[in-house]
Amino acid sequence: MTEKPTLSVKDLRVGSPFTELLHGISFDIAAGERVGLIGESGSGKSLTATSVMGLLPETLTATGTVSLNGADADLLTAGERRLNQLRGNTMAMVFQEPMTALNPLMRVGAQVAEIMTVHHPDRGRRQARQRAVELLAQVKLPNPAETALAFPHQLSGGQRQRVMLAMAMANDPQLLLCDEPTTALDVTVQAEVLKLIGNLVTDRGTALLLITHDIAVVAEVCQRVLVMYQGDIVEDGPVGRVLTAPQHPYTQKLIAASDLSSVDDRGRLHTMSMPVISTPGAAQSSPGPIQADAAAALTVPPHRAAHQRLEPDGPPVIFNEATGAPAISVRGLSRQYRRRGGGLFAPAPIVHGLREVSFDVAEGQRFGIVGESGSGKSTLMRILCALDQPSSGTVNVLGQSIDGASERQLRNFRSQVQIVFQDPMGSLDPRMRVRDIVAEPLRQVSRAEALARVEAQLAAVGLDADVMHRHPHQFSGGQRQRISIARALITRPRVLVADEAVSALDVSVRAQVLNLLADLVDEYQLTLVFVSHDLGVIRHLCDTVAVISDGRIVECGPTASVYDRPLHPYTQQLVSATPSMHELARRVTS
Amino acid sequence: MFASIATIMVASMALVGCSSGSTTAEGEPDTSLTVGLLATPGNLDYTTTAGAAIPQALLYNVYEGLVKLDNDGTIIPLLAESWTVSDDGLVYDFLLHDGVTFSDGSPFTAESVKFSLERVKDNWTANGPAYLDPIASIEVVSDTEARIILSKPSNSWLFNMSGPVGTMFTESALADLATAPVGTGPYTVSSFKTGDSLVLAANADYWGEVPYMTDVTLRYFTDATAQTNALLSGDINLISGISQFQLVDQFKSNTDFQVLEGASTGEVTLSMNNASDAFSDVRVRQAVMYAIDRQAVMDTANSGYGLLIGSMVPPTDPWYDESLADLYPYDPDQATELLAEAGVSDLTVAFKIPNLPYAVAGAQVVKDQLAKVGITADVTVLEFPAVWLDDVFSSHDYDMSLIMHSEPRDVNAFAAPTYYAGYDSPAVMAKFAEADAADATTYVELMKEATTTMAEEAAADWLYLQPAISLADADLLGVPKNTPSLALDLSTIAR
Amino acid sequence: MVLVVLRRMGVFATTVVVASIVTFLMLSILPGNAARIALGVQATEADVAAQATAMGLDRPAVVRYLDWFGRVLIGDFGTSTVSRQAIGPEITDALGITVILVLTSVVLALLFAIPFGILTAVRQRKPDGAILSGISQIGVAVPGFLAGMLLVTVFAVTFRWLPAGGWVDPGENFKEFLEHLILPAIALGSVQGAVLSRYVRSSVLEVMREDFIRTARAKGLGAGRALFRHGLRNAAVPVMTVLGLQIATLLVGAVVIERVFSIPGLGSLLLDKVALRDLPAVQGIVLVLVVFVLALNFLVDLAFTLIDPRLRSAA
Amino acid sequence: MTAIKSETVTRRPAGHGGGATLWAGLVLIGLVLLAAVVSVFWTPFDPEGVFSDSILLPPGAEHLLGTDSFGRDVFSSILRGAQISLLVGTVAVGIAAVLGVPFGIVAGMNPGRLDQFMMRGNDISLAFPALLLAIIFGAIFGAGTVTAMVALGIGTAPAFALIARSGTMQIMSREYLQAARASGKSGLFIGLRHVLPNISGMLIVQASVSFGIAVLAEAALSYLGLGTPPPTPSWGRMLQDAQGYLFIEPLLIVWPGIAIAVAVLGFNLLGDGLRDRFDPRMQVNR
């Protein structure tokens, strides 16, 4: 036997007075080993980390043993004083939410310095402050001396996460726990931060436990992976092996569902047939009542986009220009916001949401818009749905000009264009019953007819009629998204706009909803505008994609073409940051 | 009179000698006094500002007139050493004290008398300038002799001269009456904070006997309980005229304090609007008289303190008739009968009362008793003085009210047809006029007749006379018991 | 930053003007004749009418407003119809008293509420925390004047340790000033303290759930240290809002305690002047109260900007 | 799956504390409500009459809590006084909600100039606290229950407006409102159908707390002579009346004091309990 493992967890059970949430998990992490802990929401992966840190909420209790370096006594029973000595010194943790994990009222340099003065009061403040700046430099923050004086809100999400890392690594801990460290970050930033984490722990020989729902993240950083499912670890193995030859059925399904490039013989994504969602009563979804023809699903629409990019300082380009009467036609669209504040007499500063955007979407096209947060993609979506007005330019949807149109003029438009939103929690009014939510877009329809149509529509998205009288909180995320889709389709719209419609869903559910969406777009011959940050999802669902950055469309063309031969540097960066499963497997095993 | 004060002084000096509690560390007698009062003066100018608060503080203390009322209600000389009246009652010759100066140093002479009294007619707007209407002319005979000639004989004007209108002013200090009063009195105003306190200091150059108390603070309270708490905790030494009598009993059993019960001029009056539909019939008013158990009202609302009077005359007036208190005994049956006789049933009256504790308490008892004879009193509590004055006093828009009339000898005013009571009896008015011009004996006779008639005709229900109860530290001497005038005479108080 | 302040001041000035108009309009419909009150019950109707003219009561409302507010802007609140004195000094004196009283009580309240609130938050799930929390709940439920009356009864009347009421200016006699201040400040402060401690408690509870507290704990700070170093300043923000509102309501709200203790504060002055229908004084007092509150909100806003760097650059 | 499990945890109120607080509040309010309802039909004695022969009796078999200076049975007055307290609270909170909530929702739904303008207006109303309004209104319309209720209502309205506005602003970013707008629903519909129901939780909490404050304020106004005029019994005035008898019959001040404390405590506890129940941040959510 060689040295003791850095972290040893044995038969860890965590429970509330009402239920048990972790059912006795055991694992070791060797010194310098990088281990990923993967699972879907609620699988218990975060509880594992907080148990190790001794930061469980008071309402939960843990049993079993957790020991560091094999030497120490059980951390679960250790006193607060002993834990305080270990936390931030021997073991450190980085949390998911960079926006809230830092004290908003304290300069970041001071927050980094604090972890050193707490554990090494003898070294002095000045030294801690200097070391903080060094650490900020090590996590590759620009102008570390200046950044040290910044407040958290002045930094971007990625920068804040770097600060968190600097803090965690300050005392060269033997164990670093990262709980979804990159989930809230943009794809390109995510890649950089992951690389940074990898480098930091490798350089220092720190053991890493990285918790995530995203296999790609694990593949990027870890050597070994633990798969968690419903409070149990179901698989434990080297990343390459698990990725290519998963043993446990759950892992197999998870990886299959994660792979958006792999489809079954009907062109549909692999879904998880395990009872992942054991909901009361509601139908399990696929196969839904719609039997989409696989061939039809893959039919390339008549219009085929040209692959174009925006040249630096070049003239504005009209992307995806369509002949005849396109479903959507946007010309010279700009949207500026007046930010609050400014001087007494000086005009308020202007923020450019969109600049000179021009493109068409042909009837029946599946048009993807991809971009990172702040790129302007949400503004564009809002304008397309007439929820916001352009500052200049024209927007024509289904022959209706919507710039400057009154709500009365938009009445017909409203039933023709519908939206599916991102947040399955927020997109349904928690105070309304499902039948009222779904019926909401209907106008001048008798109650009886409305109910009949709601029932039919719910059936079409794979939900039983008895869900009509329930409230949204009684449903899981995937089911809620089905309800959202039912609401959007009840008026038989011609254009469906989906705003990050699957981004908040677990991998397994994501595949089901994407399949459903694809089926319905075909069934109803919809023109689809799909807005997302996730290139993989768009690649699966859309035939054409526009890449948007800093308020401009920088590149647009057939999805495969853009993905395989990105023209714009930004697109290239984006594509390389979102590797496919095959690519990942290749990287890991090589 | 002076003798009596002097006696008190001597007695008090003797007492001071053996009372350790009231001397300062050096053994000097403690000559500072803090008095707790309820009504706060808005300013210090009673020539243009109404209300009893200013005369209470200043009259006899800072300001003086030719005559004053002693604590028994007798007119005694003040700045006038003596006076003579002509046989026809028209010419008054006053002999003034010599060497009197105002507190600003200017001399007080017969010129001052002429100046002050002539000024009343044109410059006074409050406190009854009409009281001096009988004066025809004022002559300065010499520095110390002033002659006042009346246009008709008047029994009331000399009495009124003892009130605010008789005050002597100096021409040199009229600029700031509202804050810096200058008089000939034993005290001067050293500071005044509206709503809080008025501090008086002994006037070192006072022409008469210098008062025992050299520093007097009048502290104003808005709440009777706060006032008694202040006395109990030793913040103040004296409460003159407590207004809530349930607070009195705790002092009776406490040997640290003395309770002085005296007579006031405050008739608590259940006024009925004689001119209103409800009460124009004398039988209805009389029914009310029978319906009200005045003793019960006094017991409940006033903790039993007070005196049943039955007319608007306090015992300190010479024409007081104690038999009037029994004129209308409590007799609900009689009341019901009278109402039936008057053909009144289901009478509902607008009972508008001021938001003063005694009125609010009394009204509840009255309402309850009226209900027993079938009269419904619709109680509305009006803000006093603002709204009550407007609604009830000026506009006469009421049927019934409950208010204390505290001015001395105010019965004539009450009988005026234009007054808010709406009592219209030419006979009574004539009798008052006749009385004023008559000789002293007839005066009392006629006054008695007129006031009795008013009581018989139930011009109002004079429920009871508010007692003048003073609460004081046990070692205080010479605290004025009665309040025959508006003034709180501090000059007699000693330890 | 300077521009932010300037802009806010502009808004502040506008609200003050609007508030002055509201004040004027509201009080212009006061019933009761100031002239009649000044002259008393014996004055004739003609006298009263002449007095009304002399007091300027018969001019059109717009003229009276402009005349009044124009003078107020140059610091002239007019002359009281009752005391015949300039109103300004009367208001300043009373305001000074009330401000001293209110601030002392707020300091006392904070001295009690901060430790108590934190304690009840930290011990939330322990029995002693629940008991302490219950005590503050009962404290909130006791009317302030009842507390005042009981304090007087015990400490002034029964033990004669302290005066039952009244006021002494600090410049006059500081010891007596303090003696007169203690009981009313405690009466006013105890209820406020109970109220504030509830806010401190919920604010601390909320902050303790924040992610950055978890971060601090993960750094190795003990629960107490994490709360003190990171939580309290964050928890202070909502408490300060409440505090600002409380001081605002207390300026008038202190009137009850002022009545119990016979303190000539601004609320008492207002009640007296309203009773006497001293319109210029009432207008002045209400305006001062309102502007004081607006100014207080303005300052609280500025204070937030100082505490919270996010507001500094966002504005 | 675990999503469901975590939901069961989420929807359970925080610990036993929240539930106990809520129940304690409901029990206390229930007592007050019971007193108010019972006193409509029956009280041991007439609480408005005057009984000269039974003045200031100590507590005993006949008069459970003794009698006051008018000979009125204190127990009867306490029972009847519950009516006034509940009336004042209900009407004041009602007025505040009716004025403040629509105001706050409209402001919250129209961010930008209109919101700014309305909020400055709200600042000005905040500068007129309820007590100041009560003094002024008392002078204008005469003191009384109605004046007190209206002044308290108007004085409390800005608080409701602030709560409604901040709630609305939170709701406004929710996607279901976007969905409703995308369906062409009018502002009125969205305000009534989506916003109001979703902010009702925090409004109820605010209402409960304001109710307690109104009961206290009624007592304070009665002390200043701006409250309910006699003979209608009100706890505040009973307290005020009892003040003069503190040394004669100290118990007189105790009963209404307890009654007020019970009512205020009840509403505060209810508010706390409801906050625990409604405010998602106060819930175990991990």
* Residue A285 covered by a domain: no
Rounded to whole angstroms, the Cα distance separating D225 from C176 reads 31
By Cβ distance, the residue of C4, C10, C230 closest to A103 is C230
Q: Mean pLDDT throughout B439-454? A: 92
Contact status of A578 with chain D (Cβ, < 8 Å): no
Contact status of C215 with chain B (Cβ, < 8 Å): no
* Residue D110 covered by a domain: yes
Quote the pLDDT of residue B100: 93
Provide the β-strand partners of residue A418.
A496
In a shared domain, residues A141 and A240 = yes
Quote the pLDDT of residue D15: 41
Comparison of pLDDT for D201 and A352, the residue scoring more:
D201
Contact A428 D176 (CB under 8 A): yes
Q: CA–CA distance from A389 to each of A40, D155, D183 (Å)?
A: 39, 39, 16
Determine the residue of chain B that is closest to C167 in CA distance: B196
Q: Is C217 exposed, middle or buried (0-12, 13-18, 19+ CB in 10 A)?
A: buried
pLDDT at B270 over 60: yes
* Residue D147 covered by a domain: yes
* Residue A267 covered by a domain: no
Contact D175 A427 (CB under 8 A): yes
Contact D69 B367 (CB under 8 A): no
Contact C252 D269 (CB under 8 A): no
pLDDT at A299 over 50: no
* Residue A315 covered by a domain: yes
Q: Mean pLDDT throughout B133-144? A: 92
Rounded to whole angstroms, the Cα distance separating D253 from D235 reads 10
Chain B residue numbers with beta carbons less than 8 Å from the beta carbon of C260 are 223, 226
Determine the residue of chain B that is closest to C263 in CA distance: B196
Alpha carbon of A154: minimum distance to chain C alpha carbons (Å): 8
Determine the residue of chain A that is closest to D11 in CA distance: A473
* Residue A191 covered by a domain: yes
Fold designation for C89-311: MetI-like fold (1.10.3720)
* Residue D32 covered by a domain: no
Q: How big, in percent rounded to 5, are the helix, strand and coil portions of chain D?
A: 75, 0, 25
Rounded to whole angstroms, the Cα distance separating A232 from A44 reads 8
Contact B50 C278 (CB under 8 A): no
Contact C261 B413 (CB under 8 A): no
Chain D, 109 to 138: residues with Cβ < 8 Å from chain A are none
Token code pair at residue A344: 């007494």
Q: What is the pLDDT of residues B185-232, one digit of tens each?
A: 999 999 998 888 999 999 989 999 899 999 999 999 888 888 998 999
Contact status of C4 with chain A (Cβ, < 8 Å): yes
* Residue D215 covered by a domain: yes
pLDDT at B13 over 80: no
Chain C, 157 to 216: residues with Cβ < 8 Å from chain A are 210-212, 214-216
Q: What is the pLDDT of residues D264-273, one digit of tens each?
A: 999 988 888 8
Contact A343 C3 (CB under 8 A): yes
CB atoms within 10 A of CB C107: 12
Quote the pLDDT of residue D12: 37
Contact D140 C19 (CB under 8 A): no
* Residue D85 covered by a domain: yes
C253 confidence band (pLDDT: 50, 70, 90): confident
Q: What is the pLDDT of residues D219-236, one digit of tens each?
A: 888 888 888 887 888 898
Quote the pLDDT of residue D5: 29
Residue with tokens 């990172």: A372
Chain B residue numbers with beta carbons less than 8 Å from the beta carbon of D138 are 383
By Cβ distance, the residue of B247, B364, B369 closest to D230 is B364
By Cβ distance, the residue of C32, C165, C259 closest to B235 is C165
* Residue D31 covered by a domain: no
CB contact set of C16 (below 8 Å; sequence gap of 6+): C291, C294
> At A499, which CATH number?
3.40.50.300
Alpha carbon of D214: minimum distance to chain A alpha carbons (Å): 30
Contact status of B195 with chain C (Cβ, < 8 Å): yes
Quote the pLDDT of residue B363: 93
Q: What is the pLDDT of residues C18-38, one digit of tens each?
A: 989 988 888 877 776 767 766
In a shared domain, residues A21 and A166 = yes
Rounded to whole angstroms, the Cα distance separating C208 from C67 reads 55
Q: Average pLDDT, whole number, for chain A? A: 83
Distance of CA D178 to the CA centre of its chain: 34
Q: Mean pLDDT throughout D161-175? A: 87
Chain A, 267 to 326: residues with Cβ < 8 Å from chain D are 275-279
Full domain range(s) for residue D163: 67-279
Break chain C into its structural domains and give their ranges: 2-73, 89-311
Touch of B by A (3+ CB pairs closer than 8 Å):
no
Rounded to whole angstroms, the Cα distance separating C80 from C274 reads 12
Alpha carbon of D184: minimum distance to chain C alpha carbons (Å): 33
Quote the pLDDT of residue B217: 94
Alpha carbon of D215: minimum distance to chain A alpha carbons (Å): 32
Rounded to whole angstroms, the Cα distance separating A58 from A77 reads 14
Determine the residue of chain D that is closest to A56 in CA distance: D286
Provide the β-strand partners of residue A238.
A224
pLDDT at C215 over 70: yes
Q: What is the pLDDT of residues C146-186, one digit of tens each?
A: 888 889 888 988 888 888 888 888 888 899 999 999 999 99
Chain A residue numbers with beta carbons less than 8 Å from the beta carbon of C310 are 104, 151, 153
Chain C, 253 to 282: residues with Cβ < 8 Å from chain D are 253, 255-256, 259, 267, 270-271, 274
Residue with tokens 């309501």: C249
By Cβ distance, the residue of B126, B222, B390 closest to C32 is B390
Quote the pLDDT of residue B22: 44
Out of A575-589, B44-58, B362-376, D160-174, pick the least confident.
Answer: A575-589
Chain C residue numbers with beta carbons less than 8 Å from the beta carbon of A93 are 218
Alpha helix (H) ranges present in C123-219? 127-141, 144-151, 174-208, 211-218
Alpha carbon of D182: minimum distance to chain A alpha carbons (Å): 6
Calculate what percentage of chain C has a pLDDT beyond 90: 12
Domain-terminating residue out of A258, A284, A311: A258
Full domain range(s) for residue A172: 7-258
Alpha helix (H) ranges present in A524-558? 535-541
The DSSP code for D52 is G
Contact B383 D69 (CB under 8 A): no
pLDDT at D280 over 60: no
Which of A344, A345, A351 to mutate to test binding with chain C, by most C CBs within 10 Å of its CB?
Answer: A344
> Where is mean pLDDT largest: A369-383, B51-65, C69-83?
B51-65
Out of A14-18, C68-72, C80-84, D229-233, pick the least confident.
Answer: C80-84
Contact D124 C18 (CB under 8 A): yes
By Cβ distance, the residue of D127, D269, D281 closest to C206 is D281
Which of C215, C234, C237, C306 to mutate to test binding with chain A, by most A CBs within 10 Å of its CB?
Answer: C215
By Cβ distance, the residue of C210, C218, C307 closest to A55 is C218
Tally of domains within chain A: 2
Rounded to whole angstroms, the Cα distance separating B83 from B68 reads 13
Comparison of pLDDT for D61 and A299, the residue scoring more:
D61
Quote the pLDDT of residue A152: 87
* Residue A283 covered by a domain: no
Kindly give the pairing relationship between strand A350-361 and strand A366-370.
unpaired
Alpha carbon of B308: minimum distance to chain D alpha carbons (Å): 17
In a shared domain, residues A224 and A315 = no
* Residue D144 covered by a domain: yes
Token code pair at residue A175: 């164990």
Contact status of A417 with chain D (Cβ, < 8 Å): yes
Alpha carbon of D231: minimum distance to chain A alpha carbons (Å): 46
Contact A427 D174 (CB under 8 A): yes
Nearest CA among A456, A446, A526, A465 for reference residue A494: A526
Q: CA–CA distance from A262 to each of A242, A255, A268, A271, A462 (Å)?
A: 17, 10, 8, 11, 23
Q: Is A491 exposed, middle or buried (0-12, 13-18, 19+ CB in 10 A)?
A: buried
In a shared domain, residues A251 and A313 = no
Q: What is the pLDDT of residues A208-232, one digit of tens each?
A: 999 988 888 888 889 999 999 888 9
Out of A355-364, A373-382, C39-48, pick the least confident.
Answer: C39-48
Q: What is the pLDDT of residues A447-493, one digit of tens each?
A: 899 999 999 999 888 888 888 888 888 888 888 889 999 999 998 89
A445 confidence band (pLDDT: 50, 70, 90): confident
Determine the residue of chain C that is closest to B177 in CA distance: C84
Quote the pLDDT of residue B35: 95
> At D165, which CATH number?
1.10.3720.10
List residues of chain D with CB under 8 Å from any CB of chain B.
49-50, 52, 55, 69-71, 138-139, 142-144, 225, 229-231, 243-248
Angle at A508 between CA A95 and CA A558, to 5 degrees: 95
Q: Number of Cβ pairs closer than 8 Å across C and D?
A: 121
In a shared domain, residues A298 and A253 = no
Contact status of C147 with chain D (Cβ, < 8 Å): no
Contact status of A89 with chain C (Cβ, < 8 Å): yes
Contact C43 B125 (CB under 8 A): yes
Q: Average pLDDT, whole number, for chain B? A: 88
CB D205 within 8 A of CB D278: yes
* Residue A449 covered by a domain: yes
Domain-terminating residue out of A210, A232, A258: A258
Nearest CA among A468, A473, A474, A469 for reference residue A454: A468
Nearest CA among A26, A19, A391 for reference residue A234: A26
Half-sphere exposure of B218 (CA within 13 A, CB side): 28
Rounded to whole angstroms, the Cα distance separating D95 from D271 reads 19
Chain D residue numbers with beta carbons less than 8 Å from the beta carbon of C201 are none
Which of C124, C146, C196, C277 to mutate to test binding with chain D, by most D CBs within 10 Å of its CB?
Answer: C146
Tally of domains within chain D: 1
CB contact set of A280 (below 8 Å; sequence gap of 6+): A474
